[in-house]
Amino acid sequence: MNNTPFSPSLLQVSGLYKSFMIGPRKLDILKDISFSVKPGEFVALQGASGAGKSTLLNLIGMLDRPDAGSIVLEDKETERMSDYDLAKIRNHKIGFVFQSYHLLPEFDALENVIIPARIARRPYAEVKNRGIELLSQVGLANRIAHRPSELSGGEQQRVAIARSLINDPSLLIADEPTGNLDSQTGREILDLLLALRSERSCTLVIATHDLDIAAQANQTLHIVDGSLRN
């Protein structure tokens, strides 16, 4: 168990509710979710498939809005923000690593990595050098010009990790990042994420079924039927 010194919350989640309509039926996904995360913490999110893990990650990642409740990121209350302002927060403050990589097939590894920085309108020469540096850091120095179809699943996920770090986010969110990988490659990806999180002192929230990984977390959140359980 890592120990994080006392500091104000980076992320404060209070009373979140989220539901979806399935035809005429309302399906309650999250019910009264509250927790806080300090800067630099590692949080493991666990629960059965369909428990609401991805929905919660989408909410704290500003990809969706809750039906009720509040999300405060770095002292910014997000529930009343415009879609434009939420997009700016996603781009500048949050990095995402998804289970399915979400790389653009027509772009090579470097082009995929620098997309968030180009959206932020950072100078091309600066972000190109930064992208090369990150790809080298995740072990892909020799694969920079390869497109996703020319990369293995593990290599594609390494590209996705490099992309998530291009704008130096304060919050890194990973949603079952090893779900499409074999066990050995999955372990390598998890080890890489934890090493990068420690090196960069960023906050990591990761949905994982791996009990060994969860045991290394500062806190573990268990979602059961849409609610947090101890």
18-24's contacts with Cβ under 8 Å and 24+ in sequence apart are 18/52, 18/55, 18/59, 18/64, 18/66, 18/67, 19/67
Answer yes or no: is 74 within a domain.
Answer: yes
CATH of the domain at 221: 3.40.50.300
Query: Could you give the CA distance from residue 170 to residue 10 in angstroms, rounded to a whole number?
Result: 8
Answer yes or no: is 1 within a domain.
Answer: no
Answer yes or no: is 146 within a domain.
Answer: yes
Answer yes or no: is 6 within a domain.
Answer: no
- Structural contact between residues 105 and 148, judged by C-beta atoms closer than 8 angstroms: yes
Domain count of the chain? 1
Answer yes or no: is 162 within a domain.
Answer: yes
Answer yes or no: is 19 within a domain.
Answer: yes
The per-residue pLDDT for 74 is: 92
Mean pLDDT on 127-138: 95
Answer yes or no: is 77 within a domain.
Answer: yes
pTM across the whole model: 0.89
pLDDT in tens, 121-131: 999 999 999 99
Answer yes or no: is 2 within a domain.
Answer: no
pLDDT in tens, 26-72: 989 999 999 999 999 999 999 988 889 999 999 999 999 999 999 99
Q: How far is CA 206 from the centre of its chain?
A: 7
Question: pLDDT-based confidence at 139, cuts 50/70/90?
Answer: very high
pLDDT in tens, 91-124: 999 999 998 899 999 999 999 999 999 999 999 9
Q: Is 157 exposed, middle or buried, given 0-12, 13-18 or 19+ CB atoms closer than 10 A?
A: buried
Domain with 189 in it = 11-229
Tokens in use for 66? Answer: 């809750």
